Amino acid sequence: YFTIDNDVSDGGWMELHEPLTNQFPEIDATIRSQATSLGIDKWLSWDFQFDDLIEMLVKGAGANAYQMGLGKTRFATALAMMGGDRNLIVVKARLFDEFKQQLEAMPIDKSDISYLKSFDDIENLSRITLTTVSALKKKRLLPRWKKRVQTLGEALKHKINTLVVDEGSILCNRLSDQSKAIMSIKPKHQYVLDGEIIHGYARKTLPIITSVAGECRVSQPYSLSDRPYLLPGTVNGFKNAITGLKAYTDKHVTLEWATNEFRDSLEDGAKREVPKISNIPEFRDWIDPWVKRRVHGEPQVVKHVQIQPPKINKPTTVNWDEKHLGLFVDVAESYQRWFTEHEKQRGLEGKGINLAAVLQQIQAVDNATNAPEHIGKAYAGAYSHDTSKMNATVELAMSQIEQGKRPIIFASSPKALKRMKRQFESHQVAVCYIDGTVSMKKRTQELNKLRSGEYQVGCLSLGTTNDGVNLPQITNIIFYDRSSWEARVENQAIYRACRPETAHQVEVDYFELPGSLDTYQDMVIDWKKISALAGMDYGEEPPEKENFYHLEHFVRQFVESVPGLRERLEQYKLGVAA
């Protein structure tokens, strides 16, 4: 197995599996000739891209898991071009305009391109038809059926030759409306594209692989339903077989405990799950036939593009403001009282704590840390100042601007972002501000101004620009908080700036307040990052780290620490450094 390293001079890379096309040279030659006749090799011009395209077409299905910045948009277009008539590319709604712009800029006959936005457009399907997940969820009443509703995805059933799903991780929750709309299409061939098909939890990978590989078959023996786990021993009968879902759970999902409801679906029900993939070598053997992975440092890639890995700095600890700490302690003590009563009541009922309720209640503690204006009605108007964490974030960005750098601040709370925006404006710094209320059209306009340098800094709500947006001009990424809890979300945000055309190393900073949820969120995100790297890139068990503390353990630890927070507050009042 290999280690990711952008320095390939030591020859540390080795080929584990020869290309599938080597086993089928005649099919390879035929498909390669077809792609060349369509001129695809002219714009899918990096040799590894074109070779991977042919290999995936020989397979007939699969997942392109290129790291960000290696050309998934062109790859998706090429897959559709090679599908014959009536092919569909599905993107998120916020990415439609940018994908459309890139698509129309390619040297492709415009008569081969169409757009699917409603049921009326079904008659106009073409070689490359672009649509959105939101469009596929649209519904209509069927005229001959009372109350029978059909989604646009269902209306496309068996009408599509090749389906290409961009940002394929949207399929990881098979019970969601978007997954159901996409999976109801049932094309002849299906491909997904996503640089991070492992979200830290192994269970989230199964629906993605199943979407392209099917289930309960020799090449993909697991299932998402009660279909049996396919083994040589089950050829003559399934009397003693277990379900494919149970087999996958037992082999690769790390659970401390789980209800039967969760084990039966890997979606609903209570569980205590660790973000760690079990039995990684076997996990890799399972995904190897279906996933084409490319990373920035491998020799075939660096021949064409060199993307510097970001410099990730350790979180900077910021001391509390006295008033902010006082509010936080009040909220923490309120949570402590609630948790103690909740645990007592559940104990009398012979039950453990309700983690869903714990998560809901602890949100107030997170808000008290990062968005003290937005804690809840009980604390309305309790705090209306810039926190020390906000000040530290702005100060760092200002110092970067003074050095001629171009920073972006990501935060989960729009209220916190607006406060930092006002600080920048008081220093006559032009700010690009985007939160969830800004329209797609306005976001594009604002981001173009950020790219051009008209704006000196970005204040962006985490999630609004996390995928499909290229910002190679940005030099620094600052995470004000870690409230997404997701390594994938943070990686997507970072790699908006780490693009092929980026000529500098992007630097990433974090801030945390002592005694808050920041520390636990950092641990969870770190474990998810390691799990994804181990399963997708390293192919071996990661080095032993400290024990993973589940939310319930952390909550108990936090509740026990609350008296210490009160003591810290009293020290602040006495002027003693915390």
Task: Specify if 417 maps to a domain.
Answer: yes
SS3 74: helix
- Domain extent, residue 388, equals 311-316+383-514+546-573
pLDDT along the chain (578 residues), means of 10: 39 76 92 95 93 94 90 93 94 88 91 94 94 94 75 94 91 88 94 84 89 89 86 70 88 80 76 77 89 88 88 92 87 86 84 75 85 75 84 96 95 91 95 90 89 94 76 93 80 85 91 86 77 67 56 72 77 62
Q: Which element (helix H / strand E) includes 291? A: strand 291-292
Residue 228 lies in a domain: no
Output the pLDDT for position 547. Answer: 56
Helix, strand or coil for residue 326?
Answer: helix
Residue 338 in domain: no
Could you give the number of structural domains in the chain?
2
Give the end of a domain, one of 133, 163, 197. 197
Best CA proximity match to 527, nearest among 173, 284, 199 = 199
Strands 316-317 and 311-312: unpaired
Within-domain flag for 272: no
Could you give the 3-state DSSP secondary structure of residue 153? helix
181, 186, 192, 198 alpha-carbon torsion, rounded to 10° = 70
Helix, strand or coil, per DSSP, at residue 447: helix
The end-to-end CA distance of the chain, in Å, is 47
DSSP 524-551: HHHHHHHHHHIIIII-SPPPP-SPPPPH
Greatest alpha-carbon pair distance for the chain in Å reads 81
pLDDT score at 269: 74
3-class DSSP assignment, residue 140 = strand
Last residue of a domain, one of 172, 197, 222: 197
The answer to the question of residue 492 being in a domain is yes
Classify 500 as helix, strand or coil: coil
In-domain check, residue 178: yes
E strand or H helix at 165: strand 162-166
Sign of CA dihedral 96, 97, 98, 100: positive
pLDDT, one tens digit per residue, over 321-335 is 888 888 888 888 888
Residue showing tokens 């000529």: 503
Q: Which domain-ending residue is among 167, 197, 227?
A: 197
189: which strand partners? 162
289 domain residue, yes or no: no
DSSP 221: -
Task: State the CATH number of the domain containing residue 450.
Answer: 3.40.50.300
Residue 218 in domain = no
